[in-house]
Amino acid sequence: MCIFCKIVNGEIPNNTVLENDEFIAFEDIHPQSKIHTIVIPKVHVESFAQVSAETMSNITPFIQEVTKKLNVDKDGYRLITNIGSNGGQEVPHLHFHILAGQRVGRLVSK
């Protein structure tokens, strides 16, 4: 069982930001910004490459609600998902990072 499934099952404590029947948002334990929140579906989906259109259509308003609760919906935020090892995905469970609370640096490609 992956670490995010253990969080969903209550086996690992977290600082929950928002939760409903389908999704949970919680603070990242290694924040990369003043605000760094993780959003996951409660059902295990390995990555964006496997997610259903229905889950995506349901997670979108949830993420928007999280940004309102964090008071970053007006000032802006970065929303990131990593897919697979080459994409930097460390936990094999679909998750979105919300980075906010400060100006986020520009991504630079090589």
Is residue 95 flagged as an active site residue? yes
Rounded CA-CA distance 19/62 in Å is: 9
Of the candidates 30, 36, 44, 95, the residue annotated as catalytic is 95
Give the number of C-alpha atoms closer than 13 A to the C-alpha of residue 94, restricted to the C-beta side.
19
Active site positions, annotated: 95
